[in-house]
Amino acid sequence: MRKKERALKVIDILKEKFGNPECALNYETPFELLIAVILSAQCTDVRVNIVTEEMYKVVNTPEQFAEMPIEDIEKLIKSTGFYRNKAKNIKLCSQQLLERYNGEIPQKMEELTELAGVGRKTANVVRGEIWRLADGITVDTHVRRLTNLIGLVKEEDVIKIEKELMKIIPKEYWIDFSHYLILQGRDKCIARRPKCLECEIKLYCKHGEKL
C-alpha cells in the first residue's frame, strides 16, 4: 500500500473516532497557549495544565512576565523540567512581544520562530490552534513514534519527519493529523504498554500486521 493511501486510511479511522480534536493544553488567550506550549517541551500536557492553572492566577500577560524576576518564574514552572531555560525564554519572549508586536502574538511563522523558546513545533501548534493556519505539521514524540510504526517515515529527526509528512498528508489535514496521532498515542499506542489488539489502526501498523 502506498504511503499516501495508508495515511488516508488512518486519517479516516481516527477522524471517525476522535471527531474534531482540540488542543490538550488549557488556555484562554493566545499568549497563554504560547507559554503552555513552551512549557510542554520534555513535559506532559497534564503536568503543564496543573502548573498553568495556578500560575495564570498570578501572572498571564507579557507585561507581567516581562517584569517578574526570573527566579520567581522558575519557582512557578519548576515541576515542568528544564525550568531555568524555560524561565529565561518565557521572560525574553514576553519582552520581545512587547517590543516588537505591542504584546500581541504574530501570525507569521517566521516572526513566531524568531521569538525566544519558539521553534517550528511551537509555532505550528499556536498557528493551527489559534488561527487554523498550517505551514507545516506538528511533530511531537507521539507523532514521531506513530508515523514510523505506520510506515509513513523512517526517520527520527523531527524536521525530516515533518518534511516527509508534508508530501504525504493532504494540507487540509495538517493540523488535525497531529491531534489524531497524539490522541491515539495516549489511548492505544502507548509507548511502554501498547494495546495493539484493541488498536483501531493496527492493520496499518508494523506491530499490528504481525498480530
- Tens of pLDDT, residues 160-183: 999 999 999 999 999 999 999 999
pLDDT at 1: 78
Q: Which residues belong to the active site? A: 121, 140
33 and 56 Cβ atoms separated by less than 8 Å: no
Mean pLDDT of the region 33-51: 96
Average the pLDDT over 95-118 and give the result.
Answer: 97
Question: Total structural domains in the chain?
Answer: 2
State which of 109, 131, 153 marks the end of a domain. 131
The residue range of the domain holding 7 is 3-22+137-210
3-state secondary structure the chain: CCHHHHHHHHHHHHHHHHCCCCCCCCCCCHHHHHHHHHHCCCCCHHHHHHHHHHHHHHCCCHHHHHHCCHHHHHHHHHHHCCHHHHHHHHHHHHHHHHHHHCCCCCCCHHHHCCCCCCCHHHHHHHHHHHHCCCCCCCCCHHHHHHHHHHCCCCCCCHHHHHHHHHHHCCHHHHHHHHHHHHHHHHHCCCCCCCCHHHCCCHHHCCCHHHC
| Co-location of 117 and 169 in the same domain | no
| Whether 103 and 149 share a structural domain | no
Last residue of a domain, one of 131, 158, 183: 131
Residues 74, 36: one domain?
A: yes
Mean pLDDT of 72-99: 98
Q: Assign residue 14 the CATH number of its domain.
A: 1.10.1670.10
pLDDT of residue 16: 97
pLDDT in tens, 187-208: 999 999 999 999 999 999 987 6
84 lies in the same domain as 146: no
pTM given for the model = 0.89
